[in-house]
Amino acid sequence: MSTLYFTKEHEWLSVEGDAATVGISAYAAEQLGDVVFVELPEVGKTVAKGDDIAVVESVKSASEIYAPVAGEITAVNDALEDAPETVNDDAQGKGWFFKMTVKDRTELSDLMDEAAYGEFIKE
């Protein structure tokens, strides 16, 4: 079973074993407005926690997507190149950005669970 985590930068990650799927939260997608472009990382790229790794652009602004944990990019959601609006339609489902390995599971303890994230976005 996967565990869902969130960052203060509004990324989510679903972790199962040492594999994670990463995207932006539904809240972030709503704040951005209509997403018009997504720049995805390169498969095979090794990243450190906090590295800027992707970009999401909307009619309002452009935002960096940061690596929530250290690891290696194992897959990207190529469907977003042709249909970036998927991020708005299903941010925490079909709108995922990339998959990665989790190099150091202790980094997950710095992240929020769904309840803590809900409180965080109310502030």
Report the pLDDT value the prediction gives residue 123, as an integer from 0 to 100.
Answer: 84
Chain centroid, CA 14 distance in Å:
9
Report the pLDDT value the prediction gives residue 37, as an integer from 0 to 100.
Answer: 97
On whether the pTM is more than 0.75, the answer is yes
Report the pLDDT value the prediction gives residue 6, as an integer from 0 to 100.
Answer: 98
Per-residue pLDDT of the chain (123 residues; tens, 9 = 90+): 679 999 999 999 999 999 999 999 999 999 999 999 999 999 999 999 999 999 999 998 999 999 999 999 999 999 999 999 999 999 999 999 999 999 999 999 999 999 999 999 998
**If we measure between CA atoms, which residue out of 6, 24, 31 comes closest to residue 98?**
24
Report the pLDDT value the prediction gives residue 21, as an integer from 0 to 100.
Answer: 97
Task: Delimit the domains of the chain by residue range.
Answer: 3-122
The class of domain 3-122 in CATH terms is mainly beta
Report the pLDDT value the prediction gives residue 2, as an integer from 0 to 100.
Answer: 75
